[in-house]
Amino acid sequence: MLSQIFIITLIVGIASAATTLSRPPPKPAALADKEGCYIKEIKDVIPFGESVAPLGSCHRIYCGRMLAYASCSTVATDDPTCHLTDEDLSKPYPHCCPHLKCDAHVDLIPLIGTH
């Protein structure tokens, strides 16, 4: 049962991330002999079947017949003790994505030896 819950959670998490498809742009003449997709964000070509997560932006680009751009999923909660963090563009995707950060519920953990 636990493994079924994990798989369902994983599928929902993957499905909620945004993915956009686009045609690869033409390669500059200097890179015309390199096999793969030209990625404007890094000004280079990556091989077919590979992906890159450019620093300074929060997404991953996969090179296939089309370019697939994967970005952060939508995160929300009704818990008033939680807030959404900002993107951290110093980290690669998906570690740069905003996430929920909740205040510790200190009252839920009994202190040992304070009687």
pLDDT cut 70: percent of the chain above it: 76
pLDDT of residue 83: 87
> Average pLDDT of 88-100?
92
CA distance 15 to 48: 23
CA distance 19 to 95: 17
List, for residues 11-62, the tens digit of each pLDDT value. 334 445 689 999 999 999 999 999 999 999 999 999 999 999 998 999 999 9
The answer to whether the predicted template modeling score (pTM) of the entire model surpasses 0.75 is: no
pLDDT of residue 103: 85
